[in-house]
């Protein structure tokens, strides 16, 4: 598997750690892989204006700009 490395700031490190715990992921790299997979799904669902519609737990729609 190819290896990539990059620097992140403390705020991003904290976010990755929180997501790791929330998702039960084994590593921050796993969190990043899941994030990229989710962004790929969003890309496939992208509207003409670059947005994606997401429904929250109550069924309320939110439009998120991806592009």
pLDDT in tens, 48-58: 888 899 999 99
Q: pTM for this one?
A: 0.79
pLDDT digits (tens, 9 = 90+) for 1-34: 788 999 999 999 999 999 999 999 999 999 999 9
In terms of C-beta density within 10 A (0-12 exposed, 13-18 middle, 19 or more buried), how is residue 67 classed? exposed
């Amino acid at each position: 598997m190819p290896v990539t490395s990059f620097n992140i700031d403390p705020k991003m490190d904290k976010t990755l750690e929180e997501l790791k715990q929330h998702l039960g992921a084994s590593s921050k790299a796993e969190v990043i892989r899941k994030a990229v997979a989710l962004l790929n799904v969003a890309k496939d669902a992208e509207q003409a204006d670059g947005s994606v519609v997401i429904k929250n737990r109550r069924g309320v729609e939110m439009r998120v700009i991806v592009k």
